[in-house]
Structures are given as structure tokens and as C-alpha cells.
Structure 1
Amino acid sequence: MGDSSKSIDRLLHDLRERAKELNCLYEVQELLGNPATTIDEICQGIIEVIPPGWQYPDVCQAEIVHDGKAFRSPGFEKSPWVQSADIVVQDERVGRISVYYTEERPRSDEGPFLKEERKLINTIAEQLGFYILHEQLKQVFQEQLQSEGIRKSEWIVILDLLKRTDPDLLMRITRKMINYLGWSGIKEVEGLLERSSFAARPGGTLEENRPYQGLPGSGLLEITDEVFAVASKHLSREAILENIQKWSREERVRFLVDVLVNPNSSLSEISSAIERYHLLAGQGIELTGSRDRWFRVALIRRILSDQPHFIRVAKDYVGIDDFGDFMHRVIFPVGSHGKLGGKSAGLYLAAQILRQSNSGRELLQKVKTPKTWYMTSDSVFHFMSYNDLEDHIEQKYRDLAQVRQDYPYIIHVFRNSPLPPEMVKGLSLALDDFGDVPLIIRSSSLLEDQTGAAFAGKYKSLFIANKGTKDERLAALMDAITEVFASMFGPDPIEYRVEHGLIDSHEEMGILIQEVVGTRVGPYYLPAFAGLAFSNNEFRWSSRIRREDGLVRLVPGLGTRAVDRLSDDYPVLVALGQPSLRVNVTPDEILRYSPKKVDVINLETRSFETVDLRSMLRTLGERYPLSHQLVSLLEGDHLRRPRSWVVDFEKSDIVVTFDGLFSRTPFLRQLQTIMSVLQEALGYPVDIEFAHDGTDFYLLQCRSQSQGEDSSPPIIPRNLAAEEVVFTANRYVFNGHAADVSHIVYVDPQKYAGLESQQELLGVGRAIGRLNQALPRRRFILMGPGRWGSRGDIRLGVSVTYSDINNTALLIEIARKHKDYMPEPSFGTHFFQDLVEASIRYLPLYPDQPGVVFNESFLTSQANLLGDLLPDLPHLADVIRVIDVPGATGGRLLQVLMNGETQEAVAFLSDPATDIERAKTGGGPV
């Protein structure tokens, strides 16, 4: 990362100044809010609290001039170094506040004064002006009330007072009373309304196609007495007074209306208005239901999301005060108009829903979210503009091969470009708030986590240990942020946007900076466990499991091993509604498919690492949170849960099963409650990420569960000739079909295993990506060994990403008994969610399973088109075979039918479409 324009010492100094300014403002508010103090006492008190709030208090003096009086600091002397603000009441200057330095100080934003001090003195002058106006109105009201005695009602006295002091406010109150009477069904007001709004039209109607001739604005003032005369006939004196007082109080927050209706208002202006509202709310201000809802919706749309469904739900759970609670943790550029982004908005709304839910209160009490700071979505473009990186904005319209080639360079450039100074200041403040706990820097783009477009795993999330000096910690944080910014221009998200019709949509990249959930265990930092949960279970390994039973994907340690597809490890899967129906039943299966590794943050090396889980538990098991609930003991040929809290981790044969967590704690009931509450409130099935530190459940993400095309189970034909069948399957089958397949891309498992170098293995993945662009979309299938797109040893699965496979109709993963390849039904990983959203079918194939047909000779004996399509890759012709199905079969095509209910799948050759259409629609066997 390039050097910051200011040293860390300077940043800390600036942060201390902000704290002093805030304290000064609070002390002024206390003075103004004390009804026992006089205006003179208040002015003298402000004189005393101003110097400590300025940068150089030892040479700072203040002066307030008001009503012919001057209030000054002891030993006051004027000097050339002065900052002043007028005290204004009813657009009239009634006084002045001045701050002087008695000695020269270094030049800053405004002479020796900071720009933040300009805002502070303006705010103090404004607040003092409001106070003086309030006192003047109160005095006039009391005098008039005493002179009128009981001859006039209080509300009449107020109207008379407003006529003299604030006719604009009186006009607005008159309009509100007209509306109120009209909504109350009082007929007399209709004539006044017509007279105040429209000129009469002899013989005309309201439906004429010409504009109404309205009276000038002052027309409302002319009928004020008549309006309130009508009101006095139908409303009690108390009701009239109550409405006038309520509308007058609402006028005190008119500034918030003005800011929110102005599309040019910056986030800084909105934040200041929210803070001002928060101060007024402490003085007993009340809003009508309609105005409160308007404020909520406007703030949600402006700060969180403008998606209609999101707003419709959020307005019932997010209040005005809630924005005040988190806006001080939002970092934004000068003049920002950004939002928090989809991930931030979704998590915040979910947390609000759970916090306010009346269902399962006891189970939800220990549900938390990590401490979080936010960077607004327009920060990325401000960063790019600051570093003259605007040329990359059109990257999304470049050829995908060019995008793929440019991406490493973009990462390098972004990581070596500095963040603007105001962002650095905000990040320094965030680090002071977090302390030295590990952090995760997560993307939160505008398009992320929408219904039907989750962008799962498309943008980066990066862990940092957050250890070392403040300078080192800040540098690591900024490196991570700029790398997340760069991920906006990677090939996978760009291809994903093309695929989902979002390439022309405006995209910005916000940032979530979160405390990593966990505890220290030896040199490592990690949660007890983490995982994913889904409302709907699309991977049902038993006929007794229903779709609505949901699914949980659980791993020890950091949740990266739950969201990523792994080449050499497994999560624990459980159906939330049927936890006793496990995927693996026998001890051998449980042992083989149990988690063997764990992702951690090594605090000593300051790095993200994967370590052997069994080795870690042998040495640190006693310190690992909830370890006795997570493990089972293998004794001979059976597994048992530990009988006590004491486990001999060094000598016992330990297997991570989570059995104790499921059977001895309320975890599953808690998770089921969370899922049902969120689904009911949001109105759609949800997908959440979570972590648990051994004490509390932490929600990390919430979004709509990815949905593909609905598929009815096709009927599997029973009378196929043996030579027509290419393969069958009977395990982990999902409903679906792939019709009229014209090409098969077959990666030979044996030849792939024989590749010797890493470059050769990676070259296979790159070749698949090029074939993905060259072959007809959704008319080809991919077949090959192991777990495609997984993290880890690429010998155990072809190394591809979303943009390498997004045009295929079906991905088939092959496992042979004599190899280490083992397809994992990886429902819930980012990779699998990509397949679901794109309606790409998935099928694991076990050729050596009893009853399975696998016509390997068909796949290996046909002419190979690889040389025609990719002539520069002759060395891969033995590994990758591209079969032209109609060319090899005399015009026939491949049809693939998959029935999840009967757990059967078949791929066979037939004439185009007719037979397959009959089968998939239930028209009878072929």
C-alpha cells in the first residue's frame, strides 16, 4: 500500500479533536436544555465550554454578543485569528459568536481553524438562535394569555401569536387543519377548500381539461379564521389545541423533510440531520404515524436499499432512531450519495427482525451480529477517481478473455494505490473501536444478495489478523479493502452479470468491516463452529425428508469451509426438521465423511491457515470452545458421545460429528426458530451464514435462497435398448432434464490423474473455460473426475470457476472406486448456488456402483473435436474429449432425465425432443 498522506500520529490527533468537538456540543445542549437557566447564564456557560472543544484550548477565547450585552472569556483580547458565526432568529441577525486564538497557530482549513470547527461554531450559533426564538415566543404567548384572560381559548392565542411572528408556519397549520377536517368528513370545509385552491368557473366542472386557477399562497392566511371557526364547531378546544401543538412539533423536524426530499443531499447532510433529529427526540418530539413512516421509508431508500420488496418489509422493523445508532460507524467520501450495499442491508434488516420478534424470545436472546463498520458503495469510485483509475470502469464491456487477463494487474494496481485521506481517517477510527481482534473485510455491492441474483462468492471477502503496530494494522486493512474493490472487475462477477441481465445495471462496491466471531485457542483464532442454513432442502437423502425441512451445512472453525467447495474434506449436513435422518449412518461412513481440517487465523504468523483438526484437538482440545459437544469417540467399530465434560483428546480417537450439539443443546431449535421468523417476515425462503463462539449465535448474512427453474420429476423410460444408454445413476439425483444435448465434454479421469504438473492441471480448467464459450449454450454437458470448482488439491477435481462452466446444461462428476475422487453433493456452497441460479443441472456419477450403467467406450471411442475447436491444445487431446453427438450417432441427440423422487437418472440417445418432451411432462414411458 502506498504511503498515507498523513502519519498515524496525525490521524490519532484528528480523532481526538472530533471527540472534543462532540463533547463541546453535548455540553451546549445540556445548557440549553436546563429550564432553570437564564439566557445570560447560558451565554456565559457557552463561553466556558467553547475553548476545550477547539484545537488549541490553551490560547482559545470566546465572545458572544447578544441583546446589547457581551459575554467574554476571562482576560479576553481580540486578535487577527478569529472564527465567527451569526446568531439568527426569524431570518434576522440578533447576535454573534466569535472564537479567537490569542497567538498565531499553524494554518489549517480556515486560517488556524479546522473545517470541523466551522461546522461546530455554526451548530452552536444555530442552537442558540432556536433557544432565543423559543424564549421570545414563550414570553409573547404568556403576555397575551395574561392580557386576554379567559376571553380567548389557548389555541386562539396561539394563532394570534403566529400571525404576528411566523405567518409561514400559520399557513402550513391552516392547510393541515383543512386536510384534517376534510378527512373527518366535515362538509363545511369543502367550500373553504375549493375557495382556497381554485377559482370558480361558471358552468365548469372539475374534470375540464384546463389547469386549475389557484389562489396565491397568501390565500390560505385570508381564510384562517374561517377554517378554525369551522373547526371550533366540530372539535373540542382540547382537540384543536392538541392538533396545533402536534403540527407545531412536527415543524421542528421540517429540516429532515427538506434534506430527504432533496435528491442532491449528501450522506453527510443526511447524517447531520439524523443527529439533529436525535437530539430533538430527547426533548419529547412526537411524529404522526404517517410522517414517521415517510421518514422511515425515505431513510431506508436513501441509505439501505431502493429495492421495493426490501423497503416494504424494512419499514416495519427499522426506525428513525436506528439510523442514528449506526451512522457514526459509516465511512463515506465527501459529498457521498452511496448506500450500504446489499449484504449490509440484508444483514441489518434480519437482525432487526430477530430483535423485535415475539416468537421464541428465549431462543433468540443469544442471537447477535458482530461489531460492524461500513463503507458506502460510492467509496470505490471515489478511490478510483483519487488515483486516476477511471479507465477500468468500462472493463465489464470488454471480452471475457481480456477481463480474465487484466484482472491480476487490476488487483496489483488497486493494492498499490492509496485511499483518500478522509477514508483513512475513518478507518483509523474504526480500528480504535475494534481494538486488535481479527477482522473480515467483506464486499457489499448494490447488486449483491438480491432475489435471483445472490452473487454468491463472486466478490472477495478477506480475513486479516489485525495484529502489530497501528501503522501495520491500518496498512493491512487498506490492502484488503482495495483488493475487495478490485474484485468488482473480475471475470466471474462480470460473466455473472451478463448471465443475469445485469451488465448494464449500475454497480457500486460497499464494504463491511466486521469483527471475526471467535476466541483464541493457542496461537489460533476461530469460532467453535460456523455454517450455512437454508429454508428449503433441495438435497434430500431420504424420502422422509421434506423440502421445507431445510438444510444445515456445518463445519468447525471459520465458515470458509462451509461456503467453499473442498477437494479433500467434508462438512456435516443435517435436515433441520429431521435431524435424526443423517446422510451417513454407519461408523465407516461417518468417519470417512467427517471434517478433517479447520480454517483458522494464526495470530502469531498473522495469516489465514488450514490446519489438521485432529492434531489441533490433541494439543488444544481442552481449550477449544464446546469441544465436548462437537466430537464423538471412536471405540472399536462404533461411535459414542463423551459421557462427561472431560475428554482425553491426546489418547482418544476423535471424530467431529456435532452429535452433542444436536442432542444436548437447543442449537437446532434455535436455528429453526431463526429460519422460520426470517422467512415469515421477509416473505421468501432464506439462506443465512452464521458462526458460534461457544456462547452466542452470530448471524453473518441473510438473503433470499437461490431458486432455479421448478422441475417436475420426469418419468424414467424402462424399455431402452442397451446400445442407446450412455449412463445411469441411482444416488443423489435431483429432479431435472437436459434435452437435445449436441456435445459431450468428457475429461477422462484416468488421463487427468496422470497429469504430472500443476500447470497441466490448471490448463485443463482453462481449456474447459474456452470450450464453455465455443460450444452452443445449454446444448452441451460436462463430465469429469472429482469435485469441480473446489478449493484445495486440484488433482481431486477440475479447477474451474463460474465463468468457465456457466453455459453448460449439466455438470456430471465421476467417482471411480479405485481413485480418491469422491463427488460431494455440495448443496449450499457458493459453487452449488451458481448452478441452482443458472438452472445448470448437477449429477454425481458412481460408475462402479451396483446397478449403474456407464458406457465408457462410447465416451472414449468417438472422434474428438478438441483439435478443431482449440487447435493450440493438442497436448490435451488424450485428457479432454469433445464428442459431436449427432455426428457420432447418425443425427441422434443425447437426452438426460433425472428423477429425484425415485433416485434414478438415465442418459440415452434418441431423436430430437419428441420423446424427451413426452417423458418430462409425464406422458408415459418412452
Structure 2
Amino acid sequence: MTGASGTEPAQDRVSTGLPGLDQVLDGLRIGDNVVWRVSDLDDYRRFVAPFVAAAATTGRRIIYLRFGQHPPLVSGTDNIRVVSLDALGGFEAFTSQVWRLIEEHGRGAFYICDCLSDLLDAWATDTMVGNFFRVVCPFLFELDTVAWFALYPSRHSRTTLDRIRETTQVLVDVHRAGDDVQVQPIKVWRRQSPTMFLPHREEAGRFVPVTDSSDATRLQAAIEQHQVHSQPLLDYWDRLFMELAQTPDEPADAGGLTDICDRVLQVLVSRDPRMLALARQHLGRDELLTIRSRLVGSGYIGGKAAGMLIARSILLNCDPSLWQQCLEPHDSSYLGSDVYYAFLVHNGLWPAIMRQRCAEGYLTEAPALRAGILAGKFPAEYRAELERLLDHYGQYPILVRSSSLQEDGFGNAFAGKYDSVFLVNQGPPEQRLGALEDAIRQVYASTMSEDALVYRKQRGLDQREEPMALLLQRVNGRFHGQYYLPDAAGVGVSRNTFVWDRDMDPAAGMVRLVMGLGTRAVDRIEGDHACVMALDHPSRRPFRNEDESFRFSQHLVDVLDTAGAGLITLPLSRLGEAAADLPLDRLGEQDRAASSRARELGLPAPVWRLTFQPLIRQGAFVSRVRSLLATLEAAYQHPVDVEFTVHLSDSQGPTFNLVQCRPLATLGESAAAVMPDPLPASQLLFANQGHFMGGNINLQIDRIIRVNAEHYAQLTQPARYQVASLVGELVRQAPAGQRIMLIGPGRWGTSSPELGVPVRFADIAGIAALVEVAERSGEMVPDLSYGSHFFQDLVETGIAYVALFPQDRHCEYYPERLLQFASDIRQLPEHSDLLAPGVVEVYELESQPLSLSADVVSQQLACFVPPPATPD
């Protein structure tokens, strides 16, 4: 700490309550944080009492922060406020509560704190105890307070002790050897005397320096003899895992092993009761010790890492004969959640975090905080561990993935809300380390993206702790010259609520499959298509003929260009020219007509179409994916959503690398839809056979916001973004509880305005239903991207999805009838430099709401004016 020099005025001096101790320390100063390192809490308590009494006589406000498991240090009185704090909520919640308390009491308050070492029982790592002190101590100093703390030095690592010493103004050791108790100041900021830092014996209220070196030596020898059998100065975290490793795995000790495993699970894997129950059943001592060996730092590994590890253990435990052969060993490492907080504290970002956590700063403070994170530096001890991690991976590509505490849990998928970053991991070690640090900063900064913050707020998570751990994975795949990619990748869901044929069983599950990196399986693919496969009828497609099947197949492939470009997208034809060893014959079919034309024109041939029919016909792929999904759903007792890569082996058939597993977001088993039979022809807005997602739908619609396709098609790209902004504003300004349906051309939420309306999902998350309409002869076509991040967003927020193809014989659509259904109609925008009125139409229906109904069994969907109720 630093401060002004010179002689302090008398009003800046504070008494310890013991004149003899005041003489040793030259008194206390306003702003002092005083840390007592003790072996017995009574040695702290005996100094607290006179300090509190002296402060009370001067009329000081005294706040006692009560969080320890030991008996109270003081009792509440008129000028002593006892504030009980719960550390079990985690570092951020506890530190934030203390921060707000200090803000509330402002300048000049005095503080007494329980023993900091008791926080270890809640946090399991003294790294965070040190970070708590590094956050709170400077804030107390700024507000002219005096605060007292205690800790047991034998329970903390040297790194933490050093950081506390560096941060505090006064540090005092209390040594005890039997009845011989001596006080030795270690640090007294900006004060000094010839004997200040010697041990001092208390004699009749005086503290007498031990000036005889013989006495000092004997005292030190007695202290060391007393401590000879104590634990070395290791982090509490390390001692916890040492205890786990040393606990026998024998029936006689089963209770002890269960207890230590449970303690580890609660500080390493999850706080969520349902995830903890799965972890207790499927992660044992060996698995936990393996996680520790691959962990950088300490703290939670986060939801994404926990889900992946639990799912792998479920498969290997439930059917080892299959999955020991077909499930590839994972090669993952983890950056613990404590590293995230240490990074924030190390870069002085905690005050900004506190401003951002306030309601008024929740969104406005985020951009500056994001910039601060991107400019931050890593503590030296973590940089060294990251270097060793890169040594392990060599020059294989790495995927740096978010794995926050709340991510991929029951009810909160956070699908696509936080960043994942591919690293080609090429070049000299210092270049690769720099790229890894940049990737980690990018993922950390994504916690401050507006999309993530709005998602958290909408789900009531904005005030809950959300530390960001990271999952670092060797990218599964092979080198094809300069390009690196897996043979195939996919998303699988164990419950298929987008069945397009009434013979299909939703319980059989579904897969979205692509060649190359799985980015094209989890995101809406602009201008391209993943293979959507119902696992009970894998060869059936929602297409009318082979030409349509080829047209709506995957034409672009995401790969890693290890020559420097990183993640890129290549046309399949170009990739095939550059990499002759691609397994195209096992993933696709030759388009004979296109191949013939290519030969005539002197172009490369044959032309391949990625239909994945050879993989399906081979048989093992479908049976193994069905087994994987069914096994995980049974263990989770809930539908699941997994991400995986596929390795095509000549000897073993397809093998899998499971990279993610989470509970599947579903709209629930709502009641079957009630639709009039026959549908009232003149009262029908639209009807469809299939092409909806989310299960049964029974909704009342009070307002429709429609983007007029004819007008929208004439707009420039900037004007289309203005339309998206206008739609978002209309949704945000709608009365609470109003059920809104959006209707628009092509794809809502697209990043390519030529394909639809480029709204942000955060702007439309309050709607009830989303309708995409194929317009302009197929140029703006809906994307039924079931299993994608977009779908997760829809289902988690309870939004029904419908795709309309008016040219299809199974679809009826009468937008002109909105004029007769609505009680009020607005043509927007009314005034705009870019847009003419009528691009956006708003139809008020509250006087006569429409019904949106869908039945997943019959695959019937309709939106209509409900008939009048029949009198009883």
C-alpha cells in the first residue's frame, strides 16, 4: 500500500486499546488493516476486546463481520453491529455482500472480522481467501476505516500469506510456546523504530522487546518444536486432495471415502443438487484425482466439463463392452473457476464488477468491463501452468470452451451465450502461449456480452454467482495437409419433438450431422444445411425427391487451417481437391448428373453430396448413437442433448468422442391440442402439416407483429437492420403479459439480412411464438434448426416455433385475413429516412385473440379464430 508521507495529525491516530501495544506499533492509523497471525483464536480475542472498548469510548461505529464457526468475538451493543454472513454461497456472493456493507457504512467505520481461515471450509481454497483480502483491504483503506482480521498461518500457502502481507498495512504474529506468548510485528506500514520488529513479551501491561538474542533463539526453537508435526504450508485445496488420495478404497473405509469424495465434489464439480446426485453415482476417487491432475488453478470445473465427464462415466459404467471400444479417450484440461476471479482481482477489475452488478450498471458498465478483461494480464503462477499445458498438447489444435458454474445444468443451458475459441496451436511456444491467453480472455470477456447478460436476467440469474471455468480440449480429428478436421460431428437429442412423419417415435431421438467441425451442427447455418436424421427412420428425409435432398444438404465445411488462417469455411468441392484422403465415400453419395456436367466442362469430378447415407447403411452408427442417447437419458432421468465427433475407423467402425452432454431443454408434455374439426375456412390464418418445434402447442395470441415480405425485399441492408431494431423495440415496449407472435420472411435472428430479419434473440425473447415464412420463390427460406443453439433459446424461453412453406400442398397461409381479424392495425415506421410505412405491421387481437394449436402426434398445426363457446 502507498500513502502520503509526513507526520500524521493526532486525529488520524487510533489506539489498540493497550497503551503498551500502542507504544510498540506507534499506534494505529486511520486506514490501517491489521492482520493477526495466530495459532489459537483466544490470542486474537484477547486483543480484540480492548480495541473494541477503546473505539467505543470515542463513539466509533463498529461492525462485526460474523462468518466463522468459532464462538463470537464480541456481542452486539448500541455501537456494535453484528452482521452475519454466509460464505457457502461462494466467493463472489460473499465478497459482494461485504463490499456493499462497506459502501453502506461509508467513511470512518471500524471493523472486526472473524478468522479468515474459516472461509476455507466454505471455499476449499485459500487462493480465494487471499483474493478476498486483496479486494476488501484497499477499499477499506480508501474509506478511512480500521479493520482487524485473524488467520491461522499453518492453514494457508506461502503464496496467500505473501499476498496478504503485501496488501495489509499492519501484520502481527502472535507466538505461543506453552504459557509463553509473545507478539512480533512483521509489517507496520510507514512506521519504524530500532526494536519495533523484535518479539515482545507482555509483562504487566507492557510489551517488552526481547533484546537478548539467546532468549530470542530459545523462543524460536520452542515455537518450531511445537510446529514440527504441523502440516507444511500447502494450499487447503492441495491438502484436500492429499486426503482423498490417502483414503483407502476398501470396504472397511467406505464411509470415510464417501465423505471425502462428497467434500471434493461440492467444491470441484457442482452445487446443483441434481448434478451432484449424478456425480456422486458416477465419479469416484480415481476420476476426481484425474480431474485434479488436469486442472489449472483451483475451484469448479464448470457445468460443461462436469456434464461431459459424468456422461462419459455413465456410458463406460453402464455398457463397458460397447463403450470401451467405441468411446475414444478424452484429452481435456480444465481452468478452474478460481482462476477467473484471480484474473479479475489481479487486474484491479473488482470495483468495476461491483458497479456492473448493480441494477443501474448491469448493462451500461459491461462494455468497459469487457474491454478491461480483454486488456488484462495473467498472474505469473497461472502462466507457468498454461505453458506446461501447451507442452502436453504439442501442436495439435485446441478448443477453448466456456464452462461456467451455471452452464449446461438442469433448466439453464446457456447454449451459445459464451464464446468458444479454436486455436490452431502452431508456431513457437511463446506465440502459442500468447494465442492461448488471448483465447481465455475472449471467453472471459464473453460473460459481459449483452446476449449473455440479458439471458441471465431473463432467467432470474443476474444476481447469482457465475464464475467462468474453462474446458480445454484437444480437437478430435486428423490432418489433411494444412487442414485439420474430424470426419464428422453432430448434435444428438434423446427426444425428437420435430418429427415430420406420424410413423416416427419422438423417444427414438434425433441427430444433426455434419462433415468437419461441429460448429455447423450447433449453429444455424446461413445458406447451408445439416443432415437432420430421425434415429428410428434414419433414411427418411423431409424432402420430396433426390434433387431436393441434394439441394438441402451440406455444401460448406468448417475446418481449421493450420497454415495460419484458423477456423475457416470451405466449399466441399474445394476441400475435396485439396485433401484427396477425405472419407467422402463413407459420408456422401455421388451426384451423377452434376458429375457428368462437371466432366463436360472440364471441372473436377465426381461431385459429392453429403447425405450420410453410406454411414446410415453401415448400421453401426445409428445403433450406437441410439444406445448412447438412451443410456444417458435413463441415467439423467431427463431427455439429454449431446455433442460429439465421429472417427471412421476401418477396423472398429465409427467411434465417438463425446464432448458435451446437458439436460435437453423441452417445452414439456403439454396437453394435446384442441382444434375444431373441420377447421373454419374463413377464420384460418394458417395451417400446416408438421414444420413446428417444441411439442404440443396451445397458445392464445394477443398481438401479431409481421414483417411484410414484399416491402422488406426492396430494402437495403442498413434498412433491414433498422427493421430488426424496430421489431425489437416493439417487443420490449409491449405490455406485460401480452402474448405476441412474430411473422416474417426467411430466418429470424439471421446474421445475413438477405436471408431474413437480423434481430438479436435478446430483443425478441419475450414473445410467445415465432413464425418463419418461405418468401420470394425460396430466396428467404426458414431453417428448422432443431438441436441448434437457436432452438435451445426458443425452448428455454417457452417460444413456439413454426415454419410456413406456402407453396407446399400441406400448407395454407392467408396473411390478408389479418385485416379482418384485428381490432387495431398500425403500419410502421411512421417516420424514417430509410423505411417506408408498412414494412412492419402490428395487429392488435386482444378483443378477439387467435388460437395457435399443434399436436405432435398427428403433426397438425393451425392458427385460427376460435369458434364461439357452446352453451352448456
Regarding TM over 0.5, the answer is yes
- Corresponding residue of 1:600: 559
* Residue aligned with 1:825, SS: coil
Q: 2:772 aligns with which of 813, 828, 833?
A: 813
Alpha-carbon displacement from aligned partner over 1:467-507 (angstroms, at most 9, x marks no partner)? 12212111111111111111112222222222222222221
Q: 1:628 aligns with which of 585, 604, 617?
A: 585
Q: Which has the higher strand share?
A: 2
- Residues 244 and 260 in structure 2, CA contact (< 8 A), matched pair in contact too: no
Residue 361 in structure 1 maps to residue 317 in structure 2: no
- Structure 1 range deviating more: 857-866 or 587-596: 857-866
Q: Which runs of 5+ in 2 are unaligned?
A: 1-156, 163-229, 597-601, 650-654
Residue 274 in structure 1 maps to residue 241 in structure 2: yes
Residue 612 in structure 1 maps to residue 571 in structure 2: yes
Residue 827 in structure 1 maps to residue 786 in structure 2: yes
Distance 1:268 1:750 in 2: 66
- Corresponding residue of 1:661: 615
- Corresponding residue of 1:349: 310
- Corresponding residue of 2:260: 295
- Residues 867 and 874 in structure 1, CA contact (< 8 A), matched pair in contact too: no
Q: Name the amino acid aligned to 1:655.
A: R
**Shift in CA distance, 423/582, structure 1 to aligned 2, threshold 3 Å:** same
**Shift in CA distance, 510/540, structure 1 to aligned 2, threshold 3 Å:** same
- Residues 811 and 840 in structure 1, CA contact (< 8 A), matched pair in contact too: yes
Q: Name the amino acid aligned to 1:623.
A: D
TM-score, normalised relative to structure 2: 0.67
- Corresponding residue of 2:716: 756
Q: Name the amino acid aligned to 2:589.
A: S
- Residues 446 and 508 in structure 1, CA contact (< 8 A), matched pair in contact too: yes
Distance 1:702 1:852 in 2: 36
Mapping of 1:88-127 within 5 angstroms? none
1:535 CA drift (Å):
0.8
Distance 2:321 2:523 in 1: 33
Alpha-carbon displacement from aligned partner over 1:66-100 (angstroms, at most 9, x marks no partner)? xxxxxxxxxxxxxxxxxxxxxxxxxxxxxxxxxxx
Residue 550 in structure 1 maps to residue 504 in structure 2: no
* Residue aligned with 1:380, SS: helix
- Structure 1 range deviating more: 465-474 or 385-394: 385-394
Q: 2:858 aligns with which of 902, 905, 916?
A: 902
Alpha-carbon displacement from aligned partner over 1:782-809 (angstroms, at most 9, x marks no partner)? 1111122245x33102223331221101
Mapping of 1:302-313 within 5 angstroms? 302-313=267-278
* Residue aligned with 1:541, SS: coil
Q: Name the amino acid aligned to 1:502.
A: L
Q: 1:490 aligns with which of 449, 453, 457?
A: 449
1:276 CA drift (Å):
6.1
1:583 CA drift (Å):
3.0
Q: Name the amino acid aligned to 2:549.
A: I
Residue 467 in structure 1 maps to residue 426 in structure 2: yes
- Residues 550 and 609 in structure 2, CA contact (< 8 A), matched pair in contact too: yes
**Shift in CA distance, 753/269, structure 1 to aligned 2, threshold 3 Å:** same
1:545 CA drift (Å):
0.9
Q: Which has the higher helix share?
A: 1
- Structure 1 range deviating more: 419-428 or 439-448: 419-428
Distance 1:403 1:615 in 2: 46
* Residue aligned with 2:771, SS: strand
- Corresponding residue of 2:463: 504
- Corresponding residue of 2:706: 746
**Shift in CA distance, 819/583, structure 1 to aligned 2, threshold 3 Å:** closer
Mapping of 1:505-584 within 5 angstroms? 505-584=464-543
- Residues 719 and 835 in structure 2, CA contact (< 8 A), matched pair in contact too: no
Distance 2:247 2:603 in 1: 59
Alpha-carbon displacement from aligned partner over 1:338-358 (angstroms, at most 9, x marks no partner)? 21111111111112222223x
* Residue aligned with 2:503, SS: coil
Alpha-carbon displacement from aligned partner over 1:562-617 (angstroms, at most 9, x marks no partner)? 00012211111112233243333621121011101011111112321111112212
Matched length: 634
Q: Name the amino acid aligned to 2:272.
A: Q
- Corresponding residue of 1:672: 626
- Residues 529 and 553 in structure 2, CA contact (< 8 A), matched pair in contact too: yes
Distance 1:547 1:900 in 2: 9
Residue 318 in structure 1 maps to residue 272 in structure 2: no
* Residue aligned with 2:501, SS: coil
Distance 2:648 2:859 in 1: 38
**Shift in CA distance, 298/756, structure 1 to aligned 2, threshold 3 Å:** same
Alpha-carbon displacement from aligned partner over 1:736-756 (angstroms, at most 9, x marks no partner)? 446442221111222222222
- Residues 703 and 843 in structure 2, CA contact (< 8 A), matched pair in contact too: yes
1:723 CA drift (Å):
4.1
Distance 1:513 1:289 in 2: 33
Mapping of 1:164-563 within 5 angstroms? 268-275=235-242, 278=245, 288-332=253-297, 338-357=299-318, 359=319, 361-394=321-354, 409-563=368-522
1:396 CA drift (Å):
6.2
Alpha-carbon displacement from aligned partner over 1:887-911 (angstroms, at most 9, x marks no partner)? xxxx322222223333332222358
* Residue aligned with 2:557, SS: strand
- Corresponding residue of 1:688: 642
1:271 CA drift (Å):
2.8
Distance 2:817 2:233 in 1: 65
Distance 1:614 1:329 in 2: 40
Larger Rg: 1
Distance 1:347 1:267 in 2: 30
**Shift in CA distance, 761/410, structure 1 to aligned 2, threshold 3 Å:** farther
**Shift in CA distance, 403/813, structure 1 to aligned 2, threshold 3 Å:** farther
Q: Name the amino acid aligned to 2:740.
A: F
Distance 1:613 1:849 in 2: 30
CA RMSD of aligned residues (A): 3.3
Distance 1:672 1:504 in 2: 39
Residue 727 in structure 1 maps to residue 727 in structure 2: no
- Structure 1 range deviating more: 481-490 or 859-868: 859-868
- Corresponding residue of 1:786: 746
TM-score, normalised relative to structure 1: 0.64
Q: Name the amino acid aligned to 1:732.
A: H
* Residue aligned with 2:711, SS: helix
Distance 1:582 1:849 in 2: 16
Residue 710 in structure 1 maps to residue 669 in structure 2: yes
1:383 CA drift (Å):
1.2
- Residues 817 and 848 in structure 1, CA contact (< 8 A), matched pair in contact too: no
1:649 CA drift (Å):
11
Distance 2:825 2:431 in 1: 55
1:380 CA drift (Å):
2.0
Residue 844 in structure 1 maps to residue 803 in structure 2: yes
**Shift in CA distance, 721/543, structure 1 to aligned 2, threshold 3 Å:** closer
* Residue aligned with 1:558, SS: coil
**Shift in CA distance, 301/273, structure 1 to aligned 2, threshold 3 Å:** closer
- Corresponding residue of 1:699: 658
**Shift in CA distance, 649/508, structure 1 to aligned 2, threshold 3 Å:** farther
1:659 CA drift (Å):
1.2
**Shift in CA distance, 685/649, structure 1 to aligned 2, threshold 3 Å:** farther
Distance 2:358 2:850 in 1: 34
- Residues 747 and 772 in structure 2, CA contact (< 8 A), matched pair in contact too: yes
**Shift in CA distance, 273/294, structure 1 to aligned 2, threshold 3 Å:** closer
**Shift in CA distance, 292/553, structure 1 to aligned 2, threshold 3 Å:** same
- Residues 329 and 373 in structure 1, CA contact (< 8 A), matched pair in contact too: yes
Distance 1:466 1:717 in 2: 60
**Shift in CA distance, 362/560, structure 1 to aligned 2, threshold 3 Å:** same
* Residue aligned with 2:747, SS: coil
